[in-house]
Amino acid sequence: MYGCEAWTLTLKEENKLLVAERKIYRKILGPTKQVDGAWRFRRNVDVEDLVGEPNIIGESKSARLRWLGHVERMGEDRAAKRAYLGQPTGRRPIGRPRYRWLDEVRKDLCDMQVADWRLVVQDRNNWRSLVSEAKIQFGSLSRRSN
């Protein structure tokens, strides 16, 4: 999870992370024994119920929002703030534009239906509760299957 605040993941990459996480949990939890005595691997829903924690996507998106709040509140002279507010110059390469970090954050905030996030960021307690809500909202298997 080191540096996950800066990740911009496509759906394909998110799915790969989820598959890897569930594979690790299945290995840790082991198979389950059915009533007829046969062994079977646990299903995704079973793994989520046993673990009871948000998945890796929820953790990374909440970390990204936490970092956004930190950068928004920091002084204008800090390097991270300058990079966040900076506008690149020059020509863009041919082809599809790259995923930008701020676009991903705005999409996450739109999914959470947060309209005026720049004001919410200034109140640390409200922002902290929004970040923990994001962890739950984005880190649930049932939300992703819809």
Residue whose entry in the numeric block shows the structure tokens 């509140």: 73
**Number of domains into which the chain is organized:** 1
Residue span of the structural domain in which 79 resides: 4-87+102-144
Q: pLDDT band at 65, cuts 50/70/90?
A: very high
Task: Read off the pLDDT of residues 102-124 as tens digits, 9 standing for 90 and up.
Answer: 999 999 999 999 989 999 999 99
Question: Would you say residue 83 lies in a domain?
Answer: yes
* CB environment 74-112: b (16+ within 10 A), e (fewer): eeeeeeebeeeeeeeeeeeeeeeeeeebeebbeebbeee
Query: Which tokens belong to 56?
Result: 């890796």
Task: Report angle CA 10, 6, 108 to the nearest 5 degrees.
Answer: 55
Q: pLDDT band at 88, cuts 50/70/90?
A: confident
Question: Would you say residue 93 lies in a domain?
Answer: no
